[in-house]
Amino acid sequence: MSDANGADAPAYLVQVSGLSKRFGETYVLSDVDLAVTAGEKVAIIGPSGSGKTTLLRCVAHLERPTAGHVAIAGQRIGEKLVNGRWREMSDREIAQIRTGIGMVFQRFNLFPHLTALENVMLGPTRVLKQSRAEAEPLARELLRKVGLAHKAADYPERLSGGQQQRVAIARSLAMQPRLMLFDEATSALDPELIGEVLSVMRTLAQDGMTMLIVTHEMQFAEDVADRVIVMDHGRIVDEGPPHELFRSPSHPRTQAFLRAVVDRQTMSDAAPETSGPEAAAP
């Protein structure tokens, strides 16, 4: 395999090498290495504050690493080789690489003054310079794919949280990315809306999309991921096939985290109703 600027085909779609990120005196990521092949689905789990979101943001270069680097399809993002020395990329060069990365975060960030269809078309028309005639058929097809063809003319305020998140996924897909990053895409949703977003993500996985998925939905991660990595204190402390890691975790930190997840779910399931007609009954 050649280096990040070599001509040979890269062995990995995503390669994270020695990645560290510091905010002030606090290291949020410490010497992280991660390699992801094309078509692979990697779930990232771990306690809050373990660096999961920062890792995704560094992969997309929304955060500039303190040390180490990220390569997408063999090309480093954020830096380039000039006369034998690594130099910082321009914002335009970084933005060009980002066009191949779809990002879906906790908040939907749809433009409220645009319809669902217009939100999905915005990237192709503004960034890819497609005409409306070119962008609209794909946008309508993507809305159909996420089950929202009938909502194309609706503005975000008329959509539920789950519907808004599905439009956000369609918007990312409209850029025809080779990689999708999901950062707790269901965490801002009411429980009854989570399933509709996870269903879309399952379809993407079945279609062969390369995905990095930060999630607390353990069953979803077990069903969809090819590999699960566990983060703690800014490091990858464990990884493995999902069935193996979830069913027979060997690392003490993984055991403790999964035990806490189960305990929290048990407490949630056992919590009595505190409102509604049943709560008022004698």
Domain boundaries, the chain: 103-176
**C-alpha–C-alpha distance, residues 114 and 125, integer Å:** 14
Tokens standing for residue 111: 């433009």
Q: Interior CA angle at 154 toward 99 and 160, to 5°?
A: 85
Encode pLDDT of 240-264 as tens digits.
999 999 999 989 999 999 998 877 7
Tokens standing for residue 238: 């464990």
pLDDT at residue 279, rounded to an integer: 41
Provide the 10 A C-beta neighbour count for residue 105.
Answer: 20
pLDDT at residue 9, rounded to an integer: 56
**C-alpha–C-alpha distance, residues 267 and 143, integer Å:** 37
**Contacts of residue 76, Cβ cutoff 8 Å, sequence gap at least 6:** 4, 5, 69, 70, 86
Encode pLDDT of 97-137 as tens digits.
999 999 998 887 899 999 999 999 999 999 999 999 999 99
**Contacts of residue 130, Cβ cutoff 8 Å, sequence gap at least 6:** 124
**C-alpha–C-alpha distance, residues 182 and 176, integer Å:** 16
- The answer for 49, left when phi > 0, alpha when psi is -120 to 50, beta otherwise, is left
User: Which of 204, 210, 178 is closest to 36 using CA atoms?
Assistant: 210
Q: Are 166 and 147 in contact (CB under 8 A)?
A: yes
pTM score, whole prediction: 0.88
Q: Write the DSSP symbol of residue 99.
A: T
| Residues of the chain with confidence (pLDDT) below 50 | 1-7, 274-282
